[in-house]
Chains A and B, each alone.
Chain A
Amino acid sequence: MSRNKSVELLRYAFTIALAALFLLPFIWMASQSVKSLGDYYRLPPELIPDPIRWDNYARIISNYPIIPAALNSLFVAVVVTLIQLVTASMAGFAFATLRFRGSRFTFLALLTQTMLPVAVVLVPMFQVVQYLGLVGSLWGMILPFAFTAYGTFLLTQYFMGIPREIFEAARVDGASYFRIWWQVYLPLAPAGLATLGALCFVFYWNSLLWPLLVSGGTENQTLPVMLAQMIGISASSPQLVMAGAAFAVFVPLCLFLALQRFFVAGVTSGSVK
């Protein structure tokens, strides 16, 4: 065998071995989620149990409010995403095209948000939401995240990639700034919007800390909050918790597989020139 062939073989062996390790938690989750309680703790463990208890999924849906929780998560993630797309594209448009005093300072000031995550501003942010009467409401999980430094930065970059002549030409034609943003710039940056949208949706679908604090009761629980509580109280039926976990993982995974290139563009932005 030539040296090149053996290197190639090594490359595949290494990748496949690591890929198997990285997939293991997913496979194990799927396997545990369709087991009876007895099989769940059985040693040696079986990858494909007999019988396969598909009804675990029916049971978690009928015994726990997982569908309402998923709908809450969906609502929060979708609305935050839509709001962020609007606010970030407006701000990005202003930073990329309009000339105004203090633009650089404002840009830098807004970007300090990346150093001020929820954990840093926890209690005062909670008090603001409380003052607005939004504790125990899904809007309390949405409005605090109307602004996104990451998205503003991302879309500013995208919009700066659009030739300035297009902006000038639209101005000469008498279009208002608002129309240029809405009818010219937004349609020219679908990849940027999709990238921000995809990452934003997954982030808020999965987020735990803030929804945990403001959900205030079962009615407004999101999926991660409900799961965290199930993990605490359902020690007697862990296979159902496993089915719930699989459910929570499934949605963003499908979204990712469908929109993969936008996710990749999103996480690598800023790392290459």
Chain B
Amino acid sequence: MAVITTADAAATVSPSGSRRSVREELAAWLFLLPSIIPFLIFTLIPAVATFALSFYRWDFISPPRFVGLANWIDLFSGGAAGRSVIVTLVLCAITVPISMAMGLALAIALDRMPFGKVFFRSIFFMPIVTSMVAISFVFGNMFATESGLINYVIGAIGLPQVAWLTYPTQATISVSIMMIWSMTGLCMLIYLAGLQQIDHSLVEAARLDGASRWQLFYHVIRPLLGRSTLFLVITQTIHALQTFEAVFVLTDGGPGDATTTIGMYIYKATFRRFEVGSGATASMALFALMLVVTIIQLRAQRRMQHV
């Protein structure tokens, strides 16, 4: 699902006018109440409570025990929670650039395609609406070492088979492949929308000046896609930071904790090991990462407006 972050907001809301009526103010708050109440009850207050929980040790049964920064020290000294942050960042570093590069290549191939454009666009969009639980099971079957389709194909062309889900590196690659499969469609769509906004007289002018295809792409089209690229870096990173379903079925975070993302760690710590405080600390780490991404977005957008 697309992500809209606070950065887009500032310019959006109508400025408070000089003439205000009490009736209008009252009406506005009545209109907002059905949003504000659930936001407070189910999001904001729980978020503050999660922050508080990160300073406690709690197993749901005995009363919570204040432990100060112990959970945080665990996180930063390379405990399981800290490792899940690394795993998540590695998955982001693999999947975001690759899915964006593939999406861009596809968008360029599809843009101005004389026929079949909508058909192909539908195919690449399909993973976006597909249940990750369901398709993870399919990927798990395809990645199977003995009977899997992928190893069969690999064997058929004479290459050594791969134990896709047995070892840490291979499992990370398997999860990445599935994530890239599910993330590429959005990149293609965004770049396609970006390409369609490009003023073609610019491209024609460069072509008449004798620019090669590569020069055309690198010096004319690429800079014009800056806004699409920024949007994708942000939304895809925020999406990948939250990875849970993809590893829940495919690897259960394993082998060991090689593919235990932050989301998976929160789930395992909280509901399998009943270490609520440790899960809450990982939750705050996830929030902090999303906050950093949002701040980067705010700054980049401000810079883009000045250009």
Contacts and interface: CB of A to CB of B under 8 A. Distances in A.
A149 interface: yes
A177 B31 contact: yes
A116 B47 CA distance: 7
B28 interface: yes
A248 B133 contact: yes
B96 interface: no
Given A14-B109, A90-B31, A90-B35, A117 B141 contact: no
Interface centre among B35, B118, B290 (most CB of A within 10 A): B35
Interface in B198-220: none
Given A110-B35, A121-B43, A29 B135 contact: yes
B99 to A, nearest CB: 12
B2 A45 contact: no
A147 interface: yes
Contacts of A119: 242, 244, 262-263, 266-267, 283, 286
Interface string A114-128: 111101111111011
B135 A249 contact: yes
Nearest to A266: B2
Interface bin, chain A: 35 or more
Contacts of B271: 213
A26 B3 CA distance: 26
Contacts of B228: 271-272
Given A19-B124, A119-B283, A249-B130, A97 B14 contact: yes
A57 interface: no
Contact of A156 (B12, B38, B181, B190): B12
Nearest to A159: B14
A88 B249 contact: no
A248 B131 contact: yes
Contacts of A15: 106, 109-110, 113, 116, 120
A101 B25 contact: yes
B159 interface: no
Nearest to A73: B131
Nearest to B24: A98
A2 interface: no
A165 to B, nearest CB: 14
Contacts of A270: 2, 4, 8, 231
Contacts of B45: 124, 128
Interface centre among B42, B102, B123, B186 (most CB of A within 10 A): B42
B257 interface: no
A222 to B, nearest CB: 10
B49 interface: yes
Contacts of A160: 12, 14
A71 interface: no
Given A120-B286, A245-B135, A157 B12 contact: yes
B4 A202 contact: no
A82 interface: no
A99 B18 CA distance: 9
B10 interface: yes
A183 interface: no
B170 to A, nearest CB: 18
Contact of A25 (B12, B28, B135, B244): B135
A99 B31 CA distance: 12
Contact of A153 (B12, B34, B50, B110): B12
A108 interface: yes
A176 B209 CA distance: 60
Contacts of B41: 128
Contacts of A41: 147
Interface in A1-54: 8, 11-12, 14-15, 18-19, 22-26, 28-29, 32, 41, 43-45
A199 B186 CA distance: 13
Nearest to A148: B35
Contacts of A25: 135, 138-139, 142, 181
Interface string B250-262: 0000000000001
Given A227-B133, A248-B133, A272-B227, 13 more contacts: A22-B184, A23-B123, A43-B147, A91-B34, A95-B13, A99-B17, A104-B10, A106-B32, A111-B6, A111-B9, A150-B1, A199-B2, A208-B132
5 contacts: A122-B283, A125-B43, A181-B31, A209-B263, A248-B134
